[in-house]
């Protein structure tokens, strides 16, 4: 489903990038003076006189498609054998959706013995508009064989190959065309980006479209395609990524956007040359394996059994009532003072007893 969407988008974009210079076309409009790029090479012819050249320049500057076609028709009628004039006229007709008429104008120049390379390239673009991709591929191959540096021929060839689902060869055609591109490269960058998306390289496709938008911010088809690819990236996250990365796209120095002349009343805008994008090396972050520590086994703590110790209390001794000591009251005899006579008598008696003891001691 994604490939069908992208293939259809590539085809539409190819028609937009070859028709976006005319304000009368159905493609997204740009300023009328911003049309001279490699998608619309300035084909000069010596057959155009100064008066007609001036009239054509004024018609193109005004952005009036019908006036441009009328002027080119007049110039072509005066110079029916000029391949360059016929090619410019056919291109103006194709951009105005007069595709069959454009094809008739080119027919004699592409079938000539020596076909004109610009007529062949424009015929390839015309066949793309008709949806005849095989014929577009054939004319584009002839154009690139005659002129191997025909950038616009490679754009037509790559677009036809993409429509025929030959995405690998289409990518090579777009890359070859970008190599020789001059002027604003956003048309071929747009188709190369969609080609990469068709091959599954969505990230590179988105990056390339963003670069193209910086170069040509006024091309509305670029922003539309960028949104399509961004949406595909968001919705296809689960898809298997492509096996390899495509080579980086380098925009040559010659492919610089021309200065854009503003419409009346607008300031002049000078388109900046695209900066070379140097691919940054992706930092490879080594994944360090972190070994998870084995969880420590939690040993359940043993519940401490508190033994209930029965404390035997000593039996209290029965209080024996102490017998009250009966203190016998001694009878105290009160001493009676002896009389003088009794005192003398006791002294005499004591003296006699002492003498008796002394005498017995002497006798012994």
302-335 pLDDT per residue, tens: 556 555 554 454 555 555 555 555 545 444 444 4
Residues making up the chain, counted from first to last: 364
Position 128 scores a pLDDT of 97
CATH code: domain of residue 112: 1.25.40.10
Residue 241: both structure tokens together? 């990524």
CA distance 256 to 224: 23
Q: Identify whether 168 is part of a domain.
A: yes
With cut-offs at 50, 70 and 90, classify the pLDDT of residue 37: very low
Domain assignment of residue 172, given as a range: 2-182
Helix pair angle (117-130, 133-146), 10° resolution: 160
Q: Identify whether 291 is part of a domain.
A: no
Q: Identify whether 17 is part of a domain.
A: yes
Position 69 scores a pLDDT of 93
| Mean pLDDT (whole number) for 167-194 | 95
Position 361 scores a pLDDT of 56
Tokens 């956003």 belong to which residue?
186
Decide: helix, strand or coil at residue 166: coil
With cut-offs at 50, 70 and 90, classify the pLDDT of residue 62: confident
* 162, 7 Cβ separation under 8 angstroms: yes
Give helix then strand counts, H and E, for the chain: 13, 0
Q: Identify whether 301 is part of a domain.
A: no
Q: Identify whether 64 is part of a domain.
A: yes
Position 6 scores a pLDDT of 53
Residue 339: both structure tokens together? 């009389």
* Highest averaged pLDDT of the listed ranges 9-18, 79-88, 152-161, 259-268: 152-161
Position 332 scores a pLDDT of 43
Q: How does pLDDT run across 187-238, given as a tens digit for each residue?
A: 999 999 999 999 999 999 999 999 999 999 999 999 999 999 999 999 876 4
Q: Identify whether 263 is part of a domain.
A: no
| Mean pLDDT (whole number) for 262-273 | 45
Position 166 scores a pLDDT of 96
Q: Identify whether 57 is part of a domain.
A: yes
CA distance 116 to 92: 18
Sequence-separated (6 or more) residues with CB below 8 Å from residue 52: 71, 74, 75, 78
Position 51 scores a pLDDT of 79
Q: Identify whether 114 is part of a domain.
A: yes
Position 337 scores a pLDDT of 55
Report the number of distinct structural domains present in the chain. Answer: 1
């Amino acid at each position: 489903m994604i490939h069908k969407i992208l293939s259809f988008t590539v085809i539409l974009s190819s028609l937009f990038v070859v028709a976006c210079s005319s304000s009368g076309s159905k493609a997204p409009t740009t300023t009328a003076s911003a049309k001279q790029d490699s998608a619309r090479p300035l084909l000069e012819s010596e057959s155009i006189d100064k008066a007609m050249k001036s009239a054509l320049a004024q018609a193109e500057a005004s952005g009036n498609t019908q006036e441009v076609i009328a002027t080119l028709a007049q110039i072509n009628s005066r110079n029916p054998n000029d391949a360059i004039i016929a090619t410019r006229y056919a291109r103006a007709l194709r951009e105005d959706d007069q595709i069959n008429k454009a094809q008739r104008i080119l027919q004699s120049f592409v079938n000539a013995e020596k076909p004109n390379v610009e007529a062949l390239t424009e015929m390839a673009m015309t066949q793309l508009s008709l949806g005849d991709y095989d014929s577009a591929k054939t004319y584009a191959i002839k154009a690139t064989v005659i002129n191997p540096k025909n950038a616009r021929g490679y754009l037509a060839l790559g677009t036809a190959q993409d429509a025929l689902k030959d995405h690998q060869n289409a990518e090579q055609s777009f890359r070859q065309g970008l190599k020789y591109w001059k002027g604003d490269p956003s048309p071929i960058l747009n188709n190369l980006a969609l080609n990469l998306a068709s091959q599954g390289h969505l990230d590179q496709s988105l990056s390339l479209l963003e670069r193209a938008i910086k170069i040509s911010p006024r091309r509305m088809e670029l922003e539309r395609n960028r949104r399509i690819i961004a949406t595909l990236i968001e919705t296809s996250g689960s898809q298997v990524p492509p096996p390899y990365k495509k080579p980086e796209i380098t925009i040559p120095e010659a492919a610089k956007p021309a200065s854009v002349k503003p419409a009346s009343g607008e300031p002049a805008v000078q388109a900046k040359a695209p900066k070379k994008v140097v691919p940054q090396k992706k930092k490879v972050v080594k994944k360090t394996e972190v070994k998870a520590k084995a969880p420590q086994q939690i040993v359940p703590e043993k519940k401490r059994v508190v033994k209930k110790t029965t404390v035997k209390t000593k039996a209290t001794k029965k209080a024996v009532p102490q017998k009250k000591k009966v203190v016998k009251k001694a009878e105290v005899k009160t001493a009676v003072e002896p009389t003088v006579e009794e005192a003398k008598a006791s002294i005499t008696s004591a003296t006699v007893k002492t003498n008796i003891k002394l005498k017995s001691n002497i006798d012994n």
